[in-house]
Chains A and B, each alone.
Chain A
Amino acid sequence: MTTATSEYLERLLAGDRRALSRVLRWIQEGEPEGREALRALYPRTGRARIVGITGAAGSGKSTLTTALARAERRRGHSVGIVAVDPSSAFTGGAILGDRIRMQELTDDPEVFMRSLATRGTLGGLSAEATDIVAVLDAFGKDVVLVETVGAGQDEIEIARTAQTTLLVLTPNTGDDIQAMKAGIMEIADILVVNKADLPNAEILVSQLKALLSYAEHHSDWQIPIVRTVATRDEGIEELVKQIDAHEQYLRASGEGEQRARDRARHQIAEAVRAELTRRFLQGDGRARLDQLVEQVAARALDPRSAARAIIAEGQREG
């Protein structure tokens, strides 16, 4: 490890937020320093409670995340927040606007919030987000809230890296529920009906109850439905109670340990994917990828053969 890297790590572990921020950037950019930092910090992780917050755009995730952060602060917990927004598929750029709704948290030095862009499909985002959560954990945050748009597989994957995942739904969005039906039990530990002051909130609650009643149960945990109005802080204490209850359940039932192993397995698989992408498709590999893209598009080569060629050639060089 270079002296610069270990100096940053020392500062990070001493509570220096500037150093924390820089280490997170290394990880975001896929710099070698980031990998070194993670290796050094990982044994210090495992203390933080990690809560995933997912749901459709406009369901109030940022506001709910802010309200949860405030509730955790009230009981003396330090909070890390990772907010994920999509990158443009065309330009690779992104506007990350989650801070707009989290302004009031900015003045609190015990809250550290980082915005993350998905950076397209080649990035292996969930591996990266998991690493960022791990660094916030090692930094000493008691709670890390991970907020993602629940629109795609990538985001659901991130939500799965949490110990407890909240799925945020709002009234009058029946189509979302239709779309989520299949996966709803696998994703959510707690269902949150936000904007519960809107008309038809109770209709949504009864739809969800019906859904839960005939869905297949993989666990003894009874998925609760919590009504919130995040803008007015309503229902937040109840939500915190349910998150705590889920934590207790995970511990008492032994399911927490099982999940930790599932997560580890999943994280390794994701990291393999990200590492392969980094080694074979980015930097020098890019030109070769572009060549093979032409061949596959012209049907001269099939995608799997192209992949095997890239890996075989890359290994010879490496």
Chain B
Amino acid sequence: MSTERKIRVLIAKPGLDGHDRGAKVVARALRDAGMEVIYTGIRQTPQMIAEAALQEDVDVVGLSILSGAHMELFPRVVEELKKRGMDDVLLFAGGIIPEEDVPALKQMGFKAIFGPGTSTHEIVEFVRNAVGAPA
């Protein structure tokens, strides 16, 4: 059965903005690509996100954010994941994230940042390739 190992992805929305349409569209696209997507809903603290990632043993964590608080919240998510020994998960993010923040986020460990207008196909391919490839 190990040949049919499923990719497990956590899609989470840190912070206070309540618009989760983008997150849901991505969750659905990943499901349609055969992955198991754990969707935790809006207004998640960094601790809650890391804890869910740990309990579900996900391969991938995708964060969606529109509030502009990513430079505050993302490092804390990374830190909480590390604290739990989850530093091997693949991280990506989507939402409204200015170009100038991207290098810092990549430095932090985010392998991809998807802005508005990204096709879901691109995100699916990214996750597939990145999980398949050795870290």
- A residues with a Cβ closer than 8 A to B are 17-18, 21-22, 24-25, 28-32, 87-88, 91-97, 99-100, 103, 106-107, 112-115, 117, 119, 278, 282-283
Contacts and interface: CB of A to CB of B under 8 A. Distances in A.
A106 B47 CA distance: 8
B3 A282 contact: yes
Interface of B is mostly: mixed
B56 A21 contact: yes
Given A91-B34, A95-B39, 17 more contacts: A17-B55, A18-B54, A18-B84, A31-B2, A87-B36, A93-B33, A93-B34, A93-B36, A93-B37, A95-B37, A99-B40, A100-B40, A107-B47, A115-B38, A278-B1, A283-B1, A283-B3
Interface of B: 1-6, 8, 27-28, 30-41, 44, 47-48, 51-52, 54-57, 84-86
Contacts of B36: 87, 93-94, 96, 115, 117
A106 B52 contact: yes
A114 B39 contact: no
B50 to A, nearest CB: 10
Contacts, number: 94
Contacts of A18: 54, 84-86
Contacts of B31: 88, 91, 93-95
A91 B33 contact: yes
Nearest to A279: B1
27 contacts: A17-B54, A18-B84, A21-B56, A29-B5, A31-B1, A91-B33, A92-B6, A93-B30, A93-B32, A93-B33, A93-B34, A93-B36, A94-B37, A95-B37, A96-B36, A96-B37, A97-B41, A99-B38, A106-B47, A106-B52, A107-B47, A113-B55, A114-B56, A115-B38, A117-B36, A278-B1, A283-B3
A59 B30 CA distance: 27
A290 B28 CA distance: 28
Given A30-B1, A119-B6, A278-B1, A100 B39 contact: yes
Contacts of A113: 55
Contacts of B41: 97, 99-100, 103
B87 to A, nearest CB: 11
Given A93-B34, A103-B41, A29 B1 contact: yes
Contacts of B39: 95-97, 99-100
A115 B56 contact: yes
Contacts of B35: 93
A91 to B, nearest CB: 5
Contacts of B57: 21-22, 24-25
Nearest to B33: A93
Nearest to B44: A103
A30 B2 contact: yes
Nearest to B29: A93
Contacts of A31: 1-2
Given A88-B31, A95-B37, A99-B41, A282 B1 contact: yes
A22 B89 CA distance: 13
Nearest to B31: A93
Nearest to B27: A95
Contacts of A119: 6
Nearest to A87: B36
B2 A29 contact: yes
A206 to B, nearest CB: 37
Nearest to A123: B1
